[in-house]
Amino acid sequence: MANYDRLTSLDASFLRLERLETPMHVGALSVFDGVGLVDADGRFRINDVIDLVQSRLHLIPRFRKIIQSVPLDAAEPIWVDDARFDIGYHVRLTALPTPGSRDQLLALFERIQSQLLDRSRPLWELWFVEGLEDGHVALIQKTHHALVDGVSGVDVATVLFDFSPLTTVVEAPDWQPQPAPNPARLLIDSVQNTLASPRSAINAARRAVEVPVRAVNQVSELVRSISSMATGGVMAPRTSLNTPVVGRSRRFALVRVSLDDVKTTRRAFGGTINDVILAGVGGGLARLLEARRELTPDLVLKVFCPVSVRDDSERMALGNRISAMFVPLAVGEPDPVTRLQGVQATTDDLKEREQALGAAALLDLTQYAAPTILGLAARLLHHQPFVNLVCTNVPGPQTPLYCMGSRLIEAYPMVPLTRNLNLGVAILSYCGQLNIGLLGDRDLWPDMEVLAAGIEDSFTELTKRAHEELPATSQ
């Protein structure tokens, strides 16, 4: 029986969620110092960059693959080689009028990220941008969520870039695309694989009838962990954050926070770095909702926090290996330290109740369901406000990255919007900084700067309180 490179149900769900107004790709805005990326005449070395990327594509094979659907939706789609793969389509060069400002770069980023990726081609694009102030060069990345999650996206970056100004020469093997399977053959193989799989619904039903004691205990644990997801109620409170996305245009804002300041806050008040991040973001949301006249003392938002379940053996395995935590965030609490302690207590409790395990188990259960049923479920989740926003925190490298000798100065991640979530918050740590990217529906976010300033001020206040709390010798 043929062994296909098949999308998981979670990977495929991002294809099902995608609409013109809600592209399902993740992205990033990176800025390099420009040294090494331009020649002696000041021209961008686009051909050399293309050669560099091309030489490393064998390390990420799915970057030369496209999606092929199974007839009748009998199984999840598969990845097949793109017979007309064209590296020049994926690695592009554009420019801003010199000297390009930060605002102009953000406007370009917003326009590029508003467009769907072409599903007839591999689902990624790299846009290099020249003409920036100080000779800097920017990189705008787009990669479909069906292809990567946050952690695997960082893995890809570390393959395309170097940890030294000296470019590592990689000997790329010859590549010839393998022919795609005949649709009829693909259908037959997919049906046979479903029937023969030890995880098929037939075997699952048989095992359920047998009801071994171990299975009973596992189900009981699963039920308890899943029930913890409903903390504060199944539905999220109604706010303007859940107003349906109305347009294809986007607004993107940046916030930069010192990682050392976050660590100082953690030492002073306990918890994890992620707890501090959630508390800092919560302060910014409080500022925003107060300005929108939606803030009440008892307002608790529900935040979806992806959790990676990868282990070291899965490095460079693309696709999505994530679970989730659903964290209540008391934005109505005026004191930042009390808010942080509330986040800490909540996340400790969720971990004890294995909420993330419950979410992971739910994802595993989706392997039993037919793609058509999963499509309906995805659309239901797309329309129901179970959470108020997504906040994802991805640890990045703390040593500098380089592209052809040009140092990466800063990098801001982007998480896509869904129909009823018009705000996405993504955080990437890199070289001692937390780089926060805020993405919103442009028509719904004329006040994005209020949120950005609020988040920055919230972290500043937490750091101030931490310094007041800690003895001078421990700082």
Residue whose pair of structure tokens reads 């805005």 in the numeric block? 29
The phi, psi pair for 93, rounded to 5°, reads -125, 130
Half-sphere exposure of 248 (CA within 13 A, CB side): 11
Instruction: Say how far apart CA 123 and CA 416 lie, in whole Å.
Output: 15
Phi, psi angle pair for 319, to nearest 5°: 90, -170
Which pair of structure tokens corresponds to residue 389?
A: 């926003």
Extended beta strands in 110-249, E state: 124-132, 137-144
**Location of structure tokens 């109740």:** 353
Tokens of 346: 């909540």
Eight-class DSSP state of 268: H
**Closest by Cα among 145, 137, 161 to 53:** 161
**Contacts with 338 (C-beta within 8 Å, 6 or more apart), sequence order:** none
Catalytic status, residue 136: no
Distance, in Å, from the CA atom of 122 to the CA atom of 76, rounded to the nearest integer, reads 17
Residue among 97, 100, 96 nearest 134 (CA): 100
Task: List, in order, residues 6 or more apart from 228 with CB less than 8 Å away.
Answer: 349, 350, 353, 354, 355, 358
| Secondary structure of residue 101 in the 3-state scheme | coil
User: Active-site residue among 25, 58, 145, 382?
Assistant: 145
DSSP single-letter state for residue 264: H
Distance CA 158, CA 146 (A): 20
Question: Any idea which residues carry the catalytic annotation?
Answer: 145
